[in-house]
């Protein structure tokens, strides 16, 4: 079953048309990457889904057209967006950030168990549980941002460049944890990533954006075998 489908999505910032026709689909339980150069419209595509930019076209989540819904409505439907730049609440502690992620939930026992799961997934956070988010390293802040999103128990996790600004080994360990999360939870994912080698650790398929349009899509194996993709995104 398709969980999320975008059909010919368009978006503009004021007079500047940024998306001119983006189509993609995320199957239930699947993980899809969005590849593309700087400025291709990857972040805007994610913002179109989570309701922070005005869009045209069709965005269907779980059978419902969600285009034009407000961000909090989209979140309540089960879509959690980890933005570029992470967006943790810097003055709050790690534990408080995790609790904020669960603010819509009433099931205290399950919330506590989910906090424990996040700390198991990202052991660095367990050591920093009482620290302010502002005191964390870049990698730890990314781990916290992902964990906070998970605390809402989303059906779809949207990740915008989880590797941005991280040392290669830190980026790999963040991706390893996301891969483990995927294997254990079956949560669906949509991942923007400049570094296709990292994205391909977790996604089954990807779409390529060029100047606001989806121009190519394929399975991870197909894309790895494509000369153009290898040259542009895999450092071959």
Work out how close the CB of 32 gets to ligand ATP at its nearest, in angstroms, rounded to a whole number.
15
* Residue 40 sits in the site that holds ligand ATP (CB under 6 A): yes
Strand partners, 32: 190, 205
User: Which of 4, 30, 31, 44 lies at the binding interface for ligand ATP (CB under 6 A)?
Assistant: 44
16 makes contact with ligand ATP (CB under 6 A):
yes
Does the footprint of ligand ATP cover residue 51 (CB under 6 A)? no
Q: 131, 93 in Cβ contact below 8 A?
A: yes
Q: Is 18 in the site for ligand ATP (CB under 6 A)?
A: yes
Strand partners, 214: 209
Cα(220)–Cα(225) distance, integer angstroms: 9
Question: Any contact of residue 42 with ligand ATP (CB under 6 A)?
Answer: yes
Using rule CB under 6 A, residue 86 touches ligand ATP? no
Read off the tokens for 201: 């650790």
Is 141 among the residues that bind ligand ATP (CB under 6 A)?
no
Give the nearest distance from C-beta 118 to ligand ATP in angstroms: 26
> Which of residues 43, 141, 147, 217 is near ligand ATP by CB under 6 A?
43
The Cβ of residue 45 has, within 10 Å, a number of other Cβ atoms equal to: 29
Q: Counting contacts by CB under 6 A, is residue 36 touching ligand ATP? A: yes
Question: DSSP letter string over 88-153?
Answer: --TTSBHHHHHHHHTTT---HHHHHHHHHHHHHH-HHHHHTTTSBGGGS-HHHHHHHHHHHHHTT-
Residue from 39, 68, 71, 225 touching ligand ATP (CB under 6 A): that is: 39
Applying CB under 6 A, the residues found at the interface with ligand ATP are 13, 16, 18, 36, 38-44
């Amino acid at each position: 079953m398709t969980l999320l489908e975008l059909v010919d999505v368009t978006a503009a910032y004021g007079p500047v048309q940024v998306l001119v026709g983006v189509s993609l689909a995320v199957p239930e339980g699947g993980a899809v990457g969005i590849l593309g150069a700087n400025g291709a419209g990857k972040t805007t595509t994610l913002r179109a889904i989570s309701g922070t930019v005005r869009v045209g076209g069709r965005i269907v989540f779980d059978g419902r057209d969600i285009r034009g819904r407000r961000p909090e409505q989209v979140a309540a439907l089960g879509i959690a967006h980890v933005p570029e730049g992470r967006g943790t609440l810097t003055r709050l502690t790690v534990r408080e950030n995790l609790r904020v992620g669960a603010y819509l939930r009433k099931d205290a026992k399950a919330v506590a168990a989910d906090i424990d799961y996040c700390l198991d997934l990202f052991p660095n956070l367990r050591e920093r549980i009482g620290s302010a988010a502002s005191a964390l390293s870049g990698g730890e802040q990314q781990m916290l941002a992902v964990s906070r999103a998970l605390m809402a128990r989303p059906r779809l996790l949207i990740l915008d460049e989880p590797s941005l600004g991280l040392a290669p080994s830190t980026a790999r360990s963040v991706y390893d944890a996301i891969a483990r999360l995927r294997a254990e939870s079956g949560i669906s994912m949509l991942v923007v990533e400049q570094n296709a080698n990292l994205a391909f650790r977790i996604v089954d398929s990807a779409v390529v954006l060029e100047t606001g349009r989806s121009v190519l899509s394929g399975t991870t194996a197909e894309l790895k075998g494509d000369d153009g993709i290898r040259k542009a995104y895999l450092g071959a």
